[in-house]
Amino acid sequence: MKAIYILAAKELQDGLRNRWVISIILILGSLALLLLLLSAAPGGTVKASVLHIGVVNLTSLSVYLIPLIALMLSFDALVGEFERGTMLLLLTYPLARWQIIMGKFAGHLLILAITITLGYGGSALFSVLYIGGSAGWEQYALMMLSSFMLGAIFLLVGYLISVLSYDRSVAIAVAIGGWLFFVVLYDLALLGVLLAGNGQIISENVFTILMLINPTDLYRAFNISSVTGSESITHIVGVIKASELNLTLIISIFFLWLTALLSLVIWRFQRREV
């Protein structure tokens, strides 16, 4: 436990020092603020609070941004230390390999928590204080929490890429490829299959399952359905019926991803030789 704490503290300190933390806060904060201000602009007949609309707008932004940030934080975590030679020394210290993974993960999660809280939370606070209306704060808070969860999964995706790569430049290329796949290509492919097959190739149920497997779509579906009454969902997750989206299911899928990825990363790391 102590080793994990020491490593996590070091990751956090690194994040503060190389200005990752402050940059992420600024990026998330300024974009959230911008979208909240836009949400406050008179929006026709829709009568909804700023935070409500903000959740919908911010979700479609976070779904790209959070995975990218998480991958950038994590792709270098293992391959970088192997390449620079610091891993060799670290492994001779009295700590287990799984503790190294958990320590880095805890540190990066802390960075995510801080940046999301300050970036998104700070903007919301500004909005409540100066634009007015705190209605919808529960949904906004859930959006922040789910952003954190999405980030956690992509941190692990990054570690997996990192532990499998023997070259940093390869790792970053694969990380960007992975981001593109999960965030853009996966949905496009599903949509393509759906449109081309006219519902013949895959049934609606299969489609729903495929959609829920991808954590980014899960994130979208979760947030958009939390701001219910959103008949105007423009994304294909709108296909998923709200009844299929209960919290237990979402959290189960999240923890399934989490444990699967974490065990995979630790298993590969334990097998890797210096």
Partner 1 sequence: MSESILISLDNVTKRYQSNTVLEKVSLDIRGGECIVLLGHNGAGKTTLIKLILGLISPSEGSVCVLGFDPSKERANILKKGFGYLPERISFYESMTGMEVLRFYAKLKSTPLDTCDDLLERVGLTEAKNRPIQTYSKGMKQRLGLAQALLGDPQFLILDEPTSGLDPVLRRQVYELVNSKCAEGKTVIISSHSLKEVEAQADRVVIMDQGRVVANGSLPQLYEQAQLQVNIVVTLDVQYTEQVIKQLSGLLATVTTSKGGLSIDCSVTNKMIVLQKVMSLGDIVDDIQIKLPKLDDIYLHYIGRATHQVETLNGEQL
Choice between 5 and 64, CB closer to partner 1: 5
86 near partner 1, rule: CB under 8 A: yes
1 near partner 1, rule: CB under 8 A: no
Choice between 88 and 247, CB closer to partner 1: 88
Smallest gap, in angstroms, from Cβ of residue 27 to partner 1? 21
85 near partner 1, rule: CB under 8 A: yes
Instruction: Write the binding mask 196 to 235 for partner 1: x where contact by CB under 8 A, - elsewhere.
Output: ----------------------------------------
Choice between 17 and 47, CB closer to partner 1: 17
Of the candidates 95, 106, 92, 109, the residue with the CA atom closest to the CA atom of residue 3 = 95
Of the candidates 239, 206, 242, the residue with the CA atom closest to the CA atom of residue 226 = 242
Inter-residue contact 248 to 264 (CB < 8 Å):
no
Smallest gap, in angstroms, from Cβ of residue 6 to partner 1? 5
6 near partner 1, rule: CB under 8 A: yes
Choice between 92 and 200, CB closer to partner 1: 92
Q: Looking at 22, 89, 242, 260, which residue binds partner 1 (CB under 8 A)? A: 89
Choice between 107 and 215, CB closer to partner 1: 107
14 near partner 1, rule: CB under 8 A: yes
Q: Could you tell me if residue 9 is left (phi over 0), alpha (psi between -120 and 50 degrees) or otherwise beta? A: alpha
> Looking at 48-56, 91-99, 121-129, 206-214, which segment touches partner 1 (CB under 8 A)?
91-99
Q: Looking at 42, 93, 232, 243, which residue binds partner 1 (CB under 8 A)? A: 93
17 near partner 1, rule: CB under 8 A: yes
274 near partner 1, rule: CB under 8 A: yes
Separation CA 274–CA 271 (nearest Å): 10
72 near partner 1, rule: CB under 8 A: no
Q: Looking at 1, 44, 45, 94, which residue binds partner 1 (CB under 8 A)? A: 94
Of the candidates 230, 274, 207, 222, the residue with the CA atom closest to the CA atom of residue 253 = 222
Of the candidates 219, 171, 172, 214, the residue with the CA atom closest to the CA atom of residue 189 = 214
Q: Looking at 38, 96, 145, 206, which residue binds partner 1 (CB under 8 A)? A: 96
Smallest gap, in angstroms, from Cβ of residue 96 to partner 1? 5
What are the angstrom distances between the C-alpha of 116 and each of 43, 58, 214? 27, 12, 22
Residues contributing to the site for partner 1 (CB under 8 A): 2-3, 6, 10, 14, 17-18, 84-86, 88-97, 273-274
